[in-house]
Chains A and B, each alone.
Chain A
Amino acid sequence: MNILELRNIGKQFPGSTDWAVKDFNLTIEKGEITALLGESGCGKTTVLRMIAGFETPTSGCIYLNGECVSDDKTFIEPQHRQVGIVFQDYALFPHKTVWENIIFGLFRLSAEEVKQKAVKIIRICGLEGLEKRYPHQLSGGQKQRVALARAMAPEPRIILFDEPFSNIDSKMKTQMREDIRQIIHKTQATAVFVTHDTKDVMAIADKVSVMKQGIALQIGKPEDIYKYPVNAYVADFFGKTNLMMARVSEKGFITPMGLIEVDNIEAEPNKMVTVSIRPEQLKVLPEGKGHMVGKIIKERFFGEYKELTCIVEDHDNKKTEIIIYASPGYQCKSNKCYFEPNNNSLNILND
């Protein structure tokens, strides 16, 4: 069943003629972790706040558990939505202890149930022993887990995260992502989070909506979007890629690197199209092998791989810069790099 459904959501802030969010659609099933990805100002946080009920959509409908919570006539206030939210600044109540923060949303239950639920969520979130502390006595990671525990304690229908990892240093991030993913799965919760970091998406999202200027460009599994981005913006946003123009031929695509053979060509012959090839889809070969060659102009060592920036020339001597990932131990004898693309590694973009 769909836990959440957004139908043609639009938001226009007073005094602005632009749409902060336009015709936005999203359906989320129970247990899914969904990411809203985009640069700052793309409208992703506005979508999140509309789900929570802190912003009123200018148009469109929002359904929670099949029940309409916002359309032209209805507007359910945030306190009646049963939507949990973990804020970017955590928004812990500074005058309440960890325990008091966590039980704040449990006021409808009996004292016995409150205790039971709070103890359980404290254990799940690994906060044992911190119950009596005040927010200012906690580390950043602990604060976030308290915020998470507080949001999850009343067992909301859906839990929202606003930039959950942006305030955490990069060393802690990996651990935090794993923790949050586990907690969400352990409690069989449904979650939506907003981020500008593709790594967050790859690490924990089941589904992602890539946004730009208030519009959803592509929705799907992170892996699919990585492999088959619809346009240059998505391709570029989702990690490094080589974008180039190519001519459609009978066997495949004629790119500045040379001919790349493709099994099913879904394009008219002789048409010029934009294609994207991920750097790791280009395989470095021993010297002299393969039919593609580039002149190395830059090498960068990244630990698990080496990034090569090469110049390739087509028949008209037109130069194009491409990026290839080589093994970390790659040593170049001349300044030439021989390579070939993996099968079916090329992706046609819409524009």
Chain B
Amino acid sequence: MTQKKFLSNISSLKNKLLLTNPWISSTLIIASLISLPLIIIFLNIANDGGDTWQHIVKNLLPTYVTNTIILMLGVALLTFIFGVSTAWITSVYDFPGRKFFSWALILPIALPAYISGFTWAGILDYASPVYIFFRTYLGVETGQFLFFNILSLPGAIIILSLAFYPYVFLITRAWFTRQSSSVLEAAASLGRQPGSVFFKVALPLARPAIVAGISLALMEVLNDYGVARYYGVDTFTTGVFTAWFSFSNPASALKLSAYLMVFVLILIATERFQRRKLRFDITGSSYRPLARKRLNKKQTLIATLICAIPFLLGFLFPALMLLYWSYFTFSIVVDARFWELLGNSFLLAFLASVAVVILAMIIAYTTRSFPEKTVRFMAKVATLGYALPGAVVAIGILISFLWLESFLASAFNTAFRIAITGTWFALIYAYVVRFMAVGYNSIESGMQRISKSVDEASLSLGASRMKTLLKINTPLLSGSLISAALLVFIDVLKELPLTLILRPFNFDTLAIRAFEFASDERVAEAAPSSLIIVLVGLVPVLLLNKIMGTTEKQN
């Protein structure tokens, strides 16, 4: 029976001429190229790292492991508290600030963690206007930093949590607002107090959503280099940099990347396992949205306070500080070199987003036209990069390119050297690997809204698939294509670890410049570059707010 089944599968593949189909073979090529860095890393995991690796294992690895684990646990706890409490308050209660906080709480997404990191260090620093105010008017004097030494592991946990809790907030809030009120009303009608309804019913039901949000936040933690380095916390990601730049030992960098991937895989597995439970939690046809409960004055005050803390600390204070610094350093920092930097960053981000959008279109259209298991698997592989920390992608690509170069050099002659590493090509390739999922998800969901029979109508009229994609799908998808390009553009603009490793010699982006200024204790001069990144990053958040507003009205 299985034998027969297998044979019939083969013949159906033959029917479809799987590999001679240009769409499927292009998707296969794209998926292979995207998975290449990861494959390289795992192929080389057993390479001998020599004495350097011995040194790392003996002296550094234990610190990497404990720091990374503590960082993840701390961020998981804090993003849970920030994200779930605010999601619950803004979805089941009605109070004057609800609408404002529903989108204001997302704003920290626009503020990259490393920028928030050095800004906060600056705010609490001895020389900051805030500390001066506390010192002169309130007589508070607490050493080098106001209140506590923020450049520490706990400090890093707080900064990363303030930067990444919006993932938990967004997903959990979407979940709460999608829930039918009947479940919560049933609990209340059985005599449960509101607090008890939350802990006994709402929270367990929302668990898959919360886990999904937290794992996204933790993936960002594993990707983070800027905060960990600036705050002096040695993690796996900073370890990869140390091995590469300080020890010049690629084998160790590879091994550390592989270890880092183990953390990522555990995260993905946990999230997948939880998501399987999501199925029976989805409410049926008797959907009735939550009727929001009005809060009295005292309750409003508490709700506002809970929502205000992550918003003020995660966005408003650092943003105001950046504005303040920019005002003073604008004239010093913004010179011809700055505009060149801006042009570089924007051009790079633009090229990367165009590349991602074109490749994502091909993959999305192939999966739409040939929804075979193998094709869908290829699409999954091609979008895996979102889970890979930037440093891992960079090391994987760098190693493969170095090989390719030495191979080409020996195959032809030594005079004929193609330098691929340290070019824009390597950078853009890396961005495509890392941000393909961002572009693909946007385009794919847009395609799902177009009836499949529209494509089929075009084909039945004799148009080729390429013509169908260009003349029918592309114009209908324009909104999704623009949002996909925009999201990738912003991600590239603020990307740090990957760009640091792969950038061409003497090449800077806004993100790198900001980080370097901050690392040189010139935080105020980092502000103008940071501010531009934040402002561009605000665009999709404002768009998201508009979309959320319209869906809320429809409900």
Give A residues with C-beta under 8 Å from B. Answer: 12, 14, 52-54, 56, 58, 72, 75, 77-85, 87-89, 91-95, 104-105, 107-108, 147, 150-151, 154, 156
Contacts and interface: CB of A to CB of B under 8 A. Distances in A.
Nearest to B468: A79
Interface of B: 8-9, 11-12, 15-17, 372-373, 451, 453-454, 456-465, 471-472, 475-476
A89 B460 contact: no
B16 to A, nearest CB: 6
Given A56-B15, A104-B463, A78 B456 contact: yes
A78 B453 contact: no
A78 B458 CA distance: 10
A84 B459 CA distance: 9
B456 A104 contact: no
B464 A79 contact: yes
A112 to B, nearest CB: 19
Contacts of A52: 456, 460
Contacts of B464: 79
B16 A151 contact: no
A80 B457 CA distance: 13
A158 B530 CA distance: 63
14 contacts: A53-B460, A79-B464, A81-B460, A85-B456, A89-B451, A91-B451, A91-B453, A93-B457, A94-B476, A104-B458, A104-B471, A105-B460, A150-B457, A151-B457
B8 to A, nearest CB: 7
B462 A82 contact: yes
Contact of A56 (B9, B16, B461): B16
User: Which one of B373, B460, B471, B472 has the greatest number of beta carbons of chain A within 10 Å?
Assistant: B460
A107 B462 contact: yes
B121 to A, nearest CB: 51
Contacts of B462: 79-80, 82, 105, 107-108, 154
A46 to B, nearest CB: 14
A77 B471 CA distance: 19
Contacts of B458: 93, 104
B260 to A, nearest CB: 36
A77 B457 CA distance: 13
B8 A85 contact: no
User: Which one of A72, A77, A79, A95 has the greatest number of beta carbons of chain B within 10 Å?
Assistant: A79
Contacts of B457: 85, 87, 91-93, 147, 150-151
A204 B418 CA distance: 70
Contact of B459 (A72, A75, A78, A107): A78
Contacts of A83: 460
A79 B16 contact: no
A156 B462 CA distance: 10
A85 B461 CA distance: 8
Which 3 A-B residue pairs are closest in the complex by CB-CB distance? A105-B461, A91-B453, A87-B453
A129 to B, nearest CB: 23
Given A92-B457, A93-B454, 5 more contacts: A14-B373, A83-B460, A89-B451, A151-B457, A151-B461
Contacts of B17: 75
Nearest to B474: A95
A12 B8 contact: yes
A297 B147 CA distance: 92
B453 A89 contact: yes
B496 to A, nearest CB: 40
Contacts of B15: 56, 72, 75
Nearest to B16: A56
B27 to A, nearest CB: 17
Contact of A85 (B372, B460, B476): B460
A299 to B, nearest CB: 38
Contacts of B463: 79, 104-105, 107
Contacts of A75: 15-17
A87 B472 contact: no
User: Which one of A14, A154, A156 has the greatest number of beta carbons of chain B within 10 Å?
Assistant: A14
Contacts of B373: 14
A56 B12 contact: yes
A98 to B, nearest CB: 14
A73 B134 CA distance: 82
Nearest to B475: A95
A87 B456 contact: yes
Contact of B456 (A91, A92, A105): A91
Contacts of B8: 12, 58
